[in-house]
Amino acid sequence: MAQRVLITGGAGFVGSHTADLFVEKGWEVEIVDNLVSGKRENVPAGARLHELDIRSPEAADLLRGGRFDVLVHLAAQMDVRKSVADPRFDADTNIVGSLNLLEAIRASGGRTRVVFSSTGGAIYGDFTTPPNVETFPKDPESPYGIAKLSVELYMAYYGRVHGLVAAAMRYGNVYGPRQDPHGEAGVVAIFSNRIIDDQPLTVFGDGRQTRDYVYVGDVARANFLGATRPLPDAERLDARAFNVGTGFGTDVLTVAKSLQRAAGKEAKINFAPKRPGEQQTSFVSIEKAGKVLGWKPEVALDDGLRRTFEWFAARRAAKGAAK
């Protein structure tokens, strides 16, 4: 009998790539997505879509009654700037929505393992010296980071008190095909589209702010390993947390130059003031994911950015041909 996984946000960017991999591995895949940012066309063949909000009683009922081996919880309000502008909405989606699902698992006996999409950038804040290790102090600079840390704290509690098996995957800045321009690594999608349109690129701050850009296919593999590999005992907060990145930081100007090389053309760069709530320097240590999960990134940055730009260019060409 095939194993069963429920993927929240499975019609979105990271979620759909993760769903692709679970389908490829022979799992029965069901998806919960409210399609606010997810897209039906991203749902892989063989997966079943439930158009639901993670805060709804129906989503909880599905999880309680579905006999799922794994919940991969990726649905979220993912825009740092929106979290700064409306922290109550961010908390309602990212904290209350997550609790709705955790309580459903507890009520059904707690046999479903959870893989949670946390953040390897926003959770640590600006008071550490990268590369950030999982056990570093957490002091988020944004409500988005605060919400992700809150869910991790709840999962640690459920693990110690109720026996929940849960892995927190602390992503770097995920990029790749199907990327949404509103996420943490949205700059790659935004730059790609503007280069295609022969428009200038806007860089906030001095352009030297660094992020740990990790390719979406590598992140999907990390999610699968988090769902299937043995995990450490539930002890302190960081026991079952794993950074998922590359281990080094790349600044925004370098990303812009790499995408211009992929496009074979240059774009003007305009500078704008730094945005509130955004970190200056962020990259993570990935040693723990290697040792415990057997995971490491396989796609180099230039190669991943080239693949991503080519996907956006092909999509734009297809849309133009359809008109």
Q: Domains of the chain: which residue ranges? A: 4-174+213-244, 180-212+247-284+300-322
Query: How many CA atoms within 13 Å lie on the side-chain side of 297?
Result: 26
Domain spanning 180-212+247-284+300-322: CATH 1.10.620.20: no
Q: Is 213 a catalytic residue?
A: no
* Under-70 pLDDT residues of the chain: 182-185, 277, 323
Check if the beta carbon of residue 138 is closer than 8 Å to that of residue 118.
no
Structure confidence by residue, pLDDT tens digits, 81-138: 899 999 999 999 999 999 999 999 999 998 999 999 999 988 998 888 899 999 999 9
* HSE value, Cβ hemisphere, 13 Å, CA-based, for 235: 6
Contacts with 277 (C-beta within 8 Å, 6 or more apart), sequence order:
80, 81, 83, 84, 141, 142, 144
The pLDDT, as a whole number, for residue 211 is: 92
pLDDT in tens, 155-167: 999 999 999 999 9
Structure confidence at residue 81 (pLDDT): 84
**Pair type for strands 166-171 and 241-244:** parallel
Rounded Cα–Cα distance for residues 120 and 242 (Å): 9
CATH class held by domain 4-174+213-244: alpha beta
Residue 269, pLDDT score: 96
Q: Is 8 left (phi over 0), alpha (psi -120 to 50) or beta?
A: beta
pLDDT of residue 183: 56
pLDDT of residue 184: 53
Burial class, 281, CB count within 10 angstroms (exposed 0-12 / middle 13-18 / buried 19+):
middle
Q: What does the pLDDT read at residue 182?
A: 63
**Which of 124, 144, 175, 215 is an active site residue?**
144
For 157, counting Cβ atoms within 10 Å of its Cβ (0-12 exposed, 13-18 middle, 19+ buried), the class is middle
